């Protein structure tokens, strides 16, 4: 079950989903009902699981588009059951168990209450049972082992109440690579599908290649004198005669403002430092050391140019975050161009 939430981690949910399905993925996971509807409207017919919370107002869309909700809050069971009561067949749901993430999911006590006192509603079909790992990429595996054992206890409760659940799933990318006992019937990788991981150095990572490049081109060139400044609040002052390239992408496009005067871009196969504050739609790069740059030259923000490369992980290090956030931040307004392999 491929995780394509957040616009497929910035890669474009529709094309990414189509590609994953072509490569054998049989099930998709999104965060919201709205994300699921977008995929259905694009003609995607494989089962889609909505990982995030669902609300009463979304039941109409959920049913109309055959989206499978993850029920995490016990109060949602009777509400959803009532809404599904008029349907010809029981509506499939996945139940999420809280095992240590401290976020969404039923506790073991809530699970017992659901199965012991209230009969599990006949208008719902318990198709899936799941949890989410909090520390699959942590250096110490103990917390994950504990989550797995709590999940197994919960699965036993469900089984003892006479339910055979066809789809049991626990692993994100890190879990799938590190903890074989979490494979069950499905795994839910996200980040590794896109060529990144956050595994600790002690764990051998699979051979991954980043899928996405982020490029722009030089919009204007200027030469500034020593002592002159560029961009808002004049945070970059030229120390020598300096060549500046103006690049038409900024924080509205997904480049963190923390890249101001930090990090670099690739032009003509060389690194050009970012100069001054990142603007909403533009950044400036110091290209003094790179001869021959002209307007229209390709600029790589993420990806490879000649022998140099910049990854989302590099940007994450420069800006104090993780590759996930760098990828998800790339605005849907940025045109995506897809190359088939």
Ligand X SMILES: Cc1ncc(COP(=O)(O)O)c(C=O)c1O
Does residue 189 belong to the site contacting ligand X (CB under 6 A)?
yes
Catalytic option among 156, 232, 324, 338: 232
Clarify whether 194 is annotated catalytic: no
Does residue 3 belong to the site contacting ligand X (CB under 6 A)?
yes
Cβ-Cβ contacts under 8 Å for 47 (sequence gap 6 or more): 26, 27, 28, 66, 68
**Closest approach of ligand X to the CB of residue 192, in Å:** 6
3 state DSSP class of 95:
strand
Does residue 313 belong to the site contacting ligand X (CB under 6 A)?
no
Q: 286 forms bridges with which residues in the sheet?
A: 244
Does residue 191 belong to the site contacting ligand X (CB under 6 A)?
yes
Query: Of 19 and 260, which CB lies nearer to ligand X in the complex structure?
Result: 19
- The DSSP letter of residue 106 is B
Binding mask 88-127 for ligand X (x = CB under 6 A): ----------------------------------------
d(CA 299, CA 308): 12
Does residue 268 belong to the site contacting ligand X (CB under 6 A)?
no
Binding mask 166-185 for ligand X (x = CB under 6 A): ------xxx-----------
Lookup: tokens for 22: 């072509």
Which residue reads 């995490």 in tokens?
72
- The answer to whether residues 94 and 129 touch, using CB atoms and an 8 Å cutoff, is yes
Residues in the interface with ligand X (CB under 6 A) total 11
Which residue reads 């899936």 in tokens?
128
Lookup: tokens for 215: 């490029």
Query: Of 95 and 192, which CB lies nearer to ligand X in the complex structure?
Result: 192
- The answer to whether residues 103 and 130 touch, using CB atoms and an 8 Å cutoff, is no
Clarify whether 232 is annotated catalytic: yes
Please select the residue that binds ligand X; options are 69, 100, 190, 254, rule is CB under 6 A.
190
Residues 19-78 that bind ligand X (CB under 6 A): 51
Residue nearest to ligand X (CB): 190
Does residue 199 belong to the site contacting ligand X (CB under 6 A)?
no
Question: What does DSSP say about strands 242-247 and 283-286: parallel, antiparallel, or unpaired?
Answer: antiparallel
Selection from 270, 280, 269, 200 nearest residue 247 by Cα: 280
d(CA 200, CA 139): 6
**Closest approach of ligand X to the CB of residue 176, in Å:** 8
Catalytic option among 5, 96, 194, 196: 5
**Closest approach of ligand X to the CB of residue 327, in Å:** 10
Question: What does DSSP say about strands 298-305 and 214-217: parallel, antiparallel, or unpaired?
Answer: antiparallel
The binding site for ligand X (CB under 6 A) comprises 3, 51, 132, 172-174, 188-192
- The set of catalytic residues is 5, 232
């Amino acid at each position: 079950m491929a995780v394509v939430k957040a616009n497929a981690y910035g890669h474009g949910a529709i094309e990414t989903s189509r590609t994953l399905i072509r490569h054998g993925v049989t099930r998709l996971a999104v965060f919201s009902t709205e994300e699921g509807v977008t995929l259905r409207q694009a003609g995607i017919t494989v089962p889609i699981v909505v990982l995030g919370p669902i609300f009463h107002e979304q039941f109409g869309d959920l049913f109309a588009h055959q989206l499978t909700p993850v029920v995490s809050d016990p109060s949602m069971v009777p509400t959803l059951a009532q809404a599904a009561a008029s349907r010809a067949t029981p509506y499939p749901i996945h139940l999420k168990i809280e095992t240590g993430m401290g976020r969404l999911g039923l506790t073991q006590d809530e699970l017992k209450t659901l199965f012991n006192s209230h009969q599990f509603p006949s208008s719902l079909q318990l198709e899936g049972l799941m949890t989410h790992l909090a520390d699959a990429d942590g250096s110490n595996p103990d917390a994950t082992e504990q989550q797995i054992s709590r999940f197994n206890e919960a699965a036993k409760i469900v089984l003892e109440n006479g339910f055979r659940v066809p789809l049991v799933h626990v692993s994100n990318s890190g879990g799938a690579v590190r903890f074989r006992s979490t494979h069950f019937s499905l795994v839910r990788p996200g980040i590794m599908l896109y060529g990144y991981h956050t595994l600790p150095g002690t764990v051998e990572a699979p051979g991954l290649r980043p899928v996405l490049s982020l490029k722009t081109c030089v919009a204007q060139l200027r030469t500034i004198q020593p002592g002159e400044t560029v961009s808002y609040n004049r945070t970059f002052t030229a120390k020598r005669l300096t060549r500046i390239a103006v690049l038409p992408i900024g924080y509205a496009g997904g480049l963190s403002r923390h890249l101001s005067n930090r990090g670099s871009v690739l032009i003509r196969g060389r690194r050009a430092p970012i100069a001054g504050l990142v603007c909403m739609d533009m950044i400036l790069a110091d290209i003094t050391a790179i001869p021959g740059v002209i307007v229209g030259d390709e600029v790589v923000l993420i990806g490879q140019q000649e022998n140099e490369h910049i990854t989302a992980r590099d940007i994450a290090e420069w800006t104090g975050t993780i590759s996930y956030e760098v990828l998800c931040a790339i605005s849907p307004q940025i045109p995506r161009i897809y190359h088939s392999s």
